[in-house]
Structure 1
Amino acid sequence: MVTHLYLGVVIFAVFAVAVGQPAIKVICSKDSISVKWRVGPQLVPYAARLFIGSCTPSEWRVLDSGEGEASFDYKFSECGFARKMKGKHMVYQGDVSFRPQAKGKPAVFQQPIECIFKRPAGWIPSFMNPGAGASEGRSKLVFHMALLNDQLTGVAKTNVVPLGSFMPIWAAVEQKSHQPLLLLMEECVAATTPQLLPNSQIHPIIGNKGCLLESKTGSSMFLPRYHSSAIILYLQSFSFGIGEEVYIHCNLMVWDHDALDKTKKACHVTEHGSWELLDDPSLSSLCNCCESTCASKMKRATDWESSMNYNSVLGPIIITDQSNAHSNATLVASDSAIDSQSSLSSTN
Structure 2
Amino acid sequence: MMALVWQGVLLAVLVAAMSVNADMQVDCRPDYMTLVWRESRNQVDPTLFRLGNCIPTSFSGRETVFTVGFNDCNFRRLVTGDQLIYSNDLMHISSPDSNELPFTLPVVCSYQRPKDWYNPTYVPEFNTYGEGEMVFHIGLMNEDFSGPAESTSFPLGSFIPIMASVELNFHQPLLLLLDECVAAATPELNPGSHLYPIITNKGCLVDSKTSGSRFEPRQNSSEIHLSLQAFRFAMGKEVYLHCELVAWDPVGLDHTKKACNYVQNHGWELVDNPAYSNLCDCCDSTCKSRRMRSTASGKLGVVKKAVLGPFTITENP
Shared fold by TM > 0.5?
A: yes
- CA displacement at 1:130 relative to structure 2: 9.8
- CA displacement at 1:150 relative to structure 2: 2.0
Contact 2:248–2:301 (Cα < 8 Å) also in 1:
no
Instruction: Kindly indicate whether residue 211 of structure 2 is the aligned counterpart of residue 225 of structure 1.
Output: no
Contact 1:131–1:174 (Cα < 8 Å) also in 2:
no
Instruction: Kindly indicate whether residue 229 of structure 2 is the aligned counterpart of residue 245 of structure 1.
Output: no
Distance 1:224 1:291, change over 3 A: same
Instruction: Name whichever structure is richer in helix by fraction.
Output: 1
- TM-score (normalised: structure 2): 0.58
Give 2:70's aligned residue: none
1:150 to 143, 163, 187: 143
Q: 5 Å matches for 1:252-271?
A: 252-271=245-264
Query: For 1:225 and 1:214, how far apart are their aligned partners in 2?
Result: 19
Distance 1:272 1:295, change over 3 A: same
2:287 to 276, 283, 294: 294
Give 1:139's aligned residue: 132
Q: Deviations over 1:105-132 (max 9, x none)?
A: xxxxxxxxxxxxxxxxxxxxx7126999
Contact 2:127–2:307 (Cα < 8 Å) also in 1:
no
Instruction: Kindly indicate whether residue 309 of structure 2 is the aligned counterpart of residue 315 of structure 1.
Output: yes
- CA displacement at 1:302 relative to structure 2: 3.6
SS of 2:120's equivalent in the other structure is: helix
Contact 1:164–1:236 (Cα < 8 Å) also in 2:
yes
- How many positions carry a matched residue from both structures? 197
- CA displacement at 1:238 relative to structure 2: 0.3
For the pair shown, which has the larger CA radius of gyration, 1 or 2?
1
Give 1:214's aligned residue: 207
Q: Deviations over 1:188-207 (max 9, x none)?
A: 00000001111111100000
Q: Which amino acid in the other structure matches residue 311 of structure 1?
A: K
Q: Which amino acid in the other structure matches residue 160 of structure 1?
A: S
Instruction: Name whichever structure is richer in strand by fraction.
Output: 2
- TM-score (normalised: structure 1): 0.53
Contact 2:163–2:226 (Cα < 8 Å) also in 1:
yes
- CA displacement at 1:133 relative to structure 2: 5.3
Query: For 2:156 and 2:309, how far apart are their aligned partners in 1?
Result: 16
The percentage of counterpart residues that share the same residue type is 48
Instruction: Kindly indicate whether residue 145 of structure 2 is the aligned counterpart of residue 171 of structure 1.
Output: no
SS of 1:308's equivalent in the other structure is: strand
Q: Which amino acid in the other structure matches residue 231 of structure 2?
A: F
Give 1:189's aligned residue: 182
Contact 2:292–2:301 (Cα < 8 Å) also in 1:
no
Distance 1:200 1:133, change over 3 A: closer
- CA displacement at 1:322 relative to structure 2: 2.3
Query: For 1:244 and 1:171, how far apart are their aligned partners in 2?
Result: 23
Give 1:69's aligned residue: none
Query: For 1:300 and 1:188, how far apart are their aligned partners in 2?
Result: 20
Q: Which amino acid in the other structure matches residue 145 of structure 1?
A: I
Query: For 1:202 and 1:131, how far apart are their aligned partners in 2?
Result: 27
Give 2:17's aligned residue: none
Contact 2:145–2:163 (Cα < 8 Å) also in 1:
no
Query: For 1:209 and 1:173, how far apart are their aligned partners in 2?
Result: 18
- CA displacement at 1:140 relative to structure 2: 1.2
Contact 2:175–2:222 (Cα < 8 Å) also in 1:
yes
**Uncovered stretches (5+) of structure 1, i.e. residues with no partner:** 1-125, 324-348
SS of 2:207's equivalent in the other structure is: helix
1:236 to 219, 229, 232: 229
Q: 5 Å matches for 1:37-52?
A: none
Q: 5 Å matches for 1:51-62?
A: none
